[in-house]
Chain A
Amino acid sequence: MKLKSLLSTLLIIPLISCSQASSLESKVFCFDTAIDIRLFEGEKQNLNDIENIFSYYDKISDNYKQRDVNNVYLVNNTNDDVLVDETLYSMLQKSFALKEEIRYFNPLCGSLAKKWKESLKSSQILDEATIQSELSKLNNSSVLFKDNNLIQRLGGAEIDLGAVAKGFALDEVKKYLVSKSFSKYLINSGYSSILLGQKQSDDGLFSVGLSDIDNAYLKLSNCFVSTSGVSTQGVKIDDQIYSHIVNPYTGSAINNYDTVIVISSSGYLGDAISTSFMLSSIDEIKQVEQTQNVKAIAIKDKNIVYKNESLEVYYH
């Protein structure tokens, strides 16, 4: 009889191991990507609230079309004052403050990046005359922050918050989750910006796979993971990969690494830094890691060429 019970248990074990912890899940299309929201606590209304946060940040940071609020597109299409809401005003202020702290991060790269994208669309390198013209615009443009949420863009360079908008949205989502006392969640903004809470497991750590390195992964929780890379938007021309991440000093679209991953405690900061690290030397990366309290991994040709010493990479 005991033996029969044992055998029955043997049969049941594999079936039990297939079961997964339940979660509330939602996928929304914002920022031209699929946002994956997973809450391991809470209710449907919480998913809706988070979806609304993403949708709102998507609208105000859009630099390609006018929406039903005054957004970046509107600021880019006039040199007059534009009244924006407090959130966009704050996003712009923080972004332009970061420009002074983080080398290679410049929110005025919009038109230069657009020109590169247009050129790469037909597998052509952007011509030098256009690069110099765009750099001249970049160097002669600025944004004035006036009272009562008025913004004035001066010059011909366009604002692009694409590198940091998802990070700002994730910061707001985190505030929301903290206000609800939630600690177990995973919010994935199209794999380039991720907010990790705690996993429903004994150690609470998520496995974050490094897709450029076979079987490699990090164990992380309670942090933002920002990733910049050339894998999806890079174009190979004459054995050189050109990407959407553009050097604001030289106008070049050649990056130093294939992928940079930054672990931080702020979404927009991590996003800005991961973008700038794509163009940084390893010494520059180390310096910013110390001043901004972030940790980075840089990958080139399927090899980790730099890793913050406090990060551990595991292998399956």
Chain B
Amino acid sequence: MDKKKLTNDIILIGSLLVLAIVSLVIILTTRNKSNLIATVRVQNQIVLKIDLNKDEGKDFVVDGINGQVRIHVKDGAIAVTESNCPHQDCVRTGYVNQTGKPIICAYNGVSITIEGNSSNDIEV
């Protein structure tokens, strides 16, 4: 009887350990990959939220105050790939995957900010 109880305990302990390890792996994996969310605003209004992991390879078009801005997600990073703005600063910014470093298209009033689990509180 005691032997059977011991076997059951071992099975229970083993199952819980496996579950704990699997949980930890899932949490760490999602922290690294899928928690980066890009928020797209036109002036002060949120118009789009883009998951930089799940929306891999996708294009988005946003109506800015003076025209359209095309956004692309690649390799967990986001960029403005087309804009009708005169200076093209937003396009030249290139792909960004860091929190605290926005992409701005001032001409169209469009800002893209990334939020998520960065190891830093802010980047300069």
On A, residues with C-beta under 8 Å from B are 3-4, 7-8, 10-11, 14-15, 18, 27-29, 32-34, 36, 117, 121, 186, 188, 190-191, 194, 199, 206-211, 217, 225, 227, 231-233, 235, 259, 261, 316
Contacts and interface: CB of A to CB of B under 8 A. Distances in A.
Contact of A206 (B9, B31, B121): B121
Contacts of A14: 23-24, 27
Given A7-B13, A28-B44, A208 B31 contact: no
A196 to B, nearest CB: 8
B16 interface: yes
B19 A186 contact: no
B121 A225 contact: no
B124 A11 contact: no
Interface residues of B, number: 37
Contacts of B122: 186, 188, 191, 194, 206-209
Interface string B12-52: 11001101100110010001000000010101100000000
Given A209-B124, A261-B124, 10 more contacts: A8-B16, A15-B23, A27-B41, A29-B109, A34-B113, A188-B122, A207-B119, A211-B124, A225-B124, A233-B87
A36 B113 contact: yes
Contact of B20 (A7, A188, A210): A7
Contacts of A34: 41, 102, 104, 111, 113
Contact of B113 (A18, A27, A211): A27
Contact of B106 (A33, A188, A227, A259): A33
Contacts of B98: 209, 211
B23 A190 contact: no
B27 A191 contact: no
A12 to B, nearest CB: 10
A199 B111 contact: no
A209 B118 contact: yes
Judged by DSSP, the binding face of B is mixed
Contact of A191 (B23, B24, B124): B124
Nearest to A207: B120
Contacts, number: 106
List 6 A-B pairs, minimum CB-CB distance, nearest first: A32-B106, A209-B120, A34-B111, A209-B123, A207-B120, A7-B16
B101 interface: yes
A211 B123 contact: yes
B27 A18 contact: yes
Contacts of A27: 39, 41, 44, 111, 113
27 contacts: A4-B12, A7-B13, A7-B16, A11-B23, A14-B23, A14-B24, A15-B23, A27-B39, A27-B111, A33-B104, A117-B87, A186-B121, A190-B102, A191-B100, A199-B121, A206-B122, A207-B119, A208-B120, A208-B123, A209-B98, A209-B120, A210-B123, A210-B124, A211-B98, A211-B123, A217-B120, A225-B124
B119 A316 contact: yes
B7 interface: no
Contacts of B93: 231-232
B55 to A, nearest CB: 20
Given A29-B44, A121-B87, A191-B101, A208 B20 contact: no
A32 B108 CA distance: 10
B104 A194 contact: no
Contacts of A227: 124
Nearest to B104: A33
B54 interface: no
Contacts of A209: 98, 100, 118-120, 122-124
